[in-house]
Amino acid sequence: MHTVKIWDYKIGDGNVPFFVAELGICHEGKLDVALELTKAAFDAGAHCVKTETFQREFLVFDPSATVTFSINGKQYTSSLIEHMDKYELSFEEHHKIKKYCDELKIPFISTAHDFKAVDFLESIKAAAIKIASPDIIHYPLLRYIAKKKIPVFLDTGSAYQYEIELAVKNLRDYGLKDIIVNHNPQGHPAPADKHDLKIIPRLKDIFEVPIGLADHYEGYEMLYTAVALGANTVEKPISKDRFVCEPERNWSISVSDLPLVLKNIENVYYSLGKSERKMLQSSEQYRTQNRVSCVAAKDLKPGDVINFDNVIFGRPRKGIGVEYWDIVLDRTVKKEKKRNEFIQWEDL
CA distance 115 to 120: 9
Residues 303 and 193 occupy one common structural domain: no
Same structural domain, 322 and 245: no
- Structural domain including 308 reads 281-347
Q: What is the CATH number of the domain that holds 130?
A: 3.20.20.70
Assess if residue 94 is contained within a domain. yes
pLDDT at 60: 58
| Residue ending a domain, choose from 246, 272, 298 | 272
- The whole-chain average pLDDT of the chain stands at 90
Identity of the residue numbered 69: F
Q: What integer is the mean pLDDT of 319-337?
A: 94
Same domain? For 194 and 319 the reply is no
Single residue among 232, 247, 272 that ends a domain in this structure: 272
Question: Which of 272, 307, 327 delimits the end of a domain?
Answer: 272
Residues 188 and 320 in one domain: no
Q: What is the pLDDT of residues 16-59, one digit of tens each?
A: 999 999 998 778 778 999 999 999 999 999 999 999 987 766 66
Please count the structural domains in the chain: 2
Q: Both 172 and 148 in a single domain?
A: yes
249 lies in the same domain as 342 = no
Q: Residue 83 has what pLDDT?
A: 60
Classify residue 66: in a domain, yes or no.
yes
**Whether 128 and 238 share a structural domain:** yes
Q: What is residue 342's predicted lDDT score, i.e. its pLDDT?
A: 95
The Cα–Cα gap between 134 and 155 comes to 8
Report the predicted TM-score, pTM, of the whole model to 2 decimal places.
Answer: 0.81
pLDDT tens profile 60-97: 566 777 777 667 777 777 766 666 667 778 999 999 99
